[in-house]
Amino acid sequence: MKNILKVSMVLAVAALSFSSCNCFKKMAKNQDEVVLACNPDVLVLNNGKVGADIQVTFPAKYFNKKAELRVTPVIVFEGGEVAAPTKCLQGEKVKENYTAVGKDGGRYTHHVEFAYDDRMQQCELQLRVEVKCPKGGCKEFTLINANNGALPTKEEAAVLAAGGAEAQALMRQFGRTIAKGVNALQKEIDFAEAMQPVANNYKNVTTVVTKADVAYSINSSKVCKKAVETDALSALKAKVAEHKSNDRAKQTVYVNGYASPDGPEKFNDKLSSARSESGKKAVEELLAEAGIQIDAASYGEDWEGFKEAVASSSIADKDLILQVLGMYDSSAQREKEIKNMSTVYKSLKTEVLPQLRRAQVVNSADITGKTDDEMVALVNGGNAAALDLEELLHIAEARPEVAVAALEAAVKYNDARVYNNLGLAYAKAGENAKALAAFENAVKAGGNSAELNNNLALANLANGNVEKAKEYAKAGNAEVQALVNAAEGNYAQASSKLEGYNAAIAQVMNGDLAAAKKSLANDNSAKADYLRAVIAAKEGNVNNAKTQLNSAISKDASLAAKAKKDINLASLF
């Protein structure tokens, strides 16, 4: 909001007697009629810059025809200062190419912009004025005290000429303050809040299935010695013993009896049942040391196994065989049609059917993985390498406090999901440059998900790269596009598409405090309480502002120091 002040301005200065600078002395006659406006009177951060419009209105018969003024806006803060371009003014008889102010008076507007520095939150925007007259002691531009119009004393002139810290301090004393502080609330937009992780494939319980066959002769259910001395059954036995020694494993062993689909169906049903029982006895002997219960079941003619065996065989007409199988539901009809294919039936008898005369032994083990607490302990103990890729992705999402460490340990996999989620973890930790680099690495690792595109837009916003962010935002979701609007200061447009905390930021900046309070209604975080304190301070409710700020600080102690520098909370201090 414009704050228009009538001031005894630098440019209108002092009714002191300046015998050494006569033309400037006469300009003081109408000093109370010079009007200065600075919009805004509290500066505002927008898109990495702090800007203001300074407007000066001179009354008629004010400006000396031979006088020259140089007005330099300077933003000063602890540890530094930045000057904007100087505005030069002249009377009617000055032969320079400055802005002329005639006998009828005049007005000029000076737009200034400064690159934002975090130290600027507590700052002053000053005008420093130099005067030049053709006669007297101001034949060259001379810095004056902009607050009272006085020329420097000999001692002050010496300090200014010497330069250094004392000169800098004196120049600040000579400056006229027209605005105080920077509202940096735009920096509080939480871009990380809108970032998205990429899902992992972690399962806490993994099922491991091991299979082996006990083979039988045609039409037989007798188990031969060599049928249980196969490598496959030896491997299954070893796997059973391994699961038995693992207190995280819960295993089941069962035997399924089958018959090849040749011969009468009823006979084959009885045969498969007999094979399941004889197979069970053989497996019980094989696994006697494991001491586990073994279940048995029979499934008759193994048509599914037949299809799989034919499909994986080298039989020339296997596609035709599979087509015939698909044409009939009756087992008898299928067998009849296949036997009619005399050219291929011999191959089936030697290559396929013997595989189906079996009792299939299945070991199914459900293995429960590490608990989240165990994974956290490994990460914190420097043993993240003991976790596999999916475990690292999982624990980073489940326990944000170890996300960075877990995902940094996972970068060795060069997986786009790792880099994406690491970028999110960095962003939540306030490491914006690292976050952007991680998202860019996700692209290099082959990532091209919608989540990654949105995150790249948001990370660029967090790093002040608004134009780059807008490129990604073209394919981004509505929230990303709204946050681009907020980063550019288009708060009305942004707030209509945002929710929660970020909507409240946009609404406060847009002057809609009631809407901002509604947006924060379900947020009990420290940052939400802090923003409630800002809203209350803007409403003039100092007591409520203090209450909300105390609540915020109780949740995040670092906010105490932040509040003392926040121009939005100046009324509390």
pLDDT band at residue 165 using 50, 70 and 90 as cut-offs: very high
Q: Are 226 and 357 within one domain?
A: yes
| Confidence check: pLDDT of 443 > 80 | yes
Whether residue 33 is predicted with pLDDT greater than 80 in this model: the reply is no
**For residue 15, is pLDDT > 60?**
no
Q: Mean pLDDT, to the nearest integer, of 336-345? A: 79
Are residues 445 and 521 both part of a single domain?
yes
Q: Is the pLDDT of residue 320 over 90?
A: no
Has residue 13 got a pLDDT over 80?
no
Q: Is residue 379 assigned to a domain?
A: no
Q: What percentage of the chain has pLDDT greater than the value 70?
A: 95
Q: What is the pLDDT of residue 31?
A: 66
Give 429's contacts (C-beta < 8 A, 6+ positions apart): 404
pLDDT over 90 at 553, yes or no:
yes
Do residues 160 and 213 share a domain? no
Considering the chain, what is the average pLDDT of its residues? 91
The span from the CA of 421 to the CA of 455, in Å, is 10
pLDDT at 26 over 90: no
Q: Give the mean model confidence (pLDDT) for residues 61-84.
A: 93
Residues 278 and 144 in one domain: no
178 plus 209 within the same structural domain = no
For residue 1, the model assigns a pLDDT of: 37
Going by their DSSP bridges, the two strands 249-259 and 294-301 should be labelled as parallel
429-452 average pLDDT score: 97
pLDDT of residue 460: 98
- If one counts the domains in the chain, the total is 3
Mean per-residue pLDDT, 327-354? 84
Query: pLDDT at position 20, please?
Result: 53
Residues 239 and 117 in one domain: no
pLDDT at 11: 37
Q: Does residue 482 surpass a pLDDT of 70?
A: yes
CATH number, position 563: 1.25.40.10
Range of the domain at 214: 205-368
Residues 14 and 156 in one domain: yes
Instruction: Establish if 192 belongs to a structural domain.
Output: no
* Residue with more model confidence, 110 or 136: 110
> What pLDDT is stored for residue 433 in this prediction?
97
Residue 215 lies in a domain: yes
The reported pLDDT for the residue numbered 315 is: 87
So what's the pLDDT on residue 324? 82
**Which carries the bigger pLDDT value, residue 533 or residue 34?**
533
Long-range contacts of 472-478 (CB under 8 A, 24+ apart): 475/450, 477/450
Taking CA atoms, 291 is separated from 164, 284, 365, 368, 444, in Å, by 89, 9, 15, 21, 52
Residues 165 and 209 in one domain: no
Is the pTM higher than 0.85? The answer reads no
Whether residue 436 has pLDDT greater than 90: yes
Does residue 321 register a pLDDT over 90?
A: no
CB atoms within 10 A of CB 561: 10
- Is residue 399 within 8 A of residue 254, CB to CB? The reply is no
CA distance 132 to 68: 5
Residue 18 scores a pLDDT above 70: no
Residues 41 and 159 grouped into a single domain: yes
Q: What is the pLDDT of residue 136?
A: 73
Residue 392 pLDDT class (50, 70, 90 cuts):
very high
Angle between helices 450-462 and 416-428 (to 10 degrees): 30
Same domain, 155 and 10: yes
pLDDT of residue 188: 95
Q: Residues 92, 173: one domain?
A: yes
Is the distance from CB of 190 to CB of 161 less than 8 angstroms?
no
Residue 188 lies in a domain: no
Residue 109 shares a structural domain with residue 254: no
Reported confidence tier of residue 29, pLDDT bands at 50, 70, 90: low
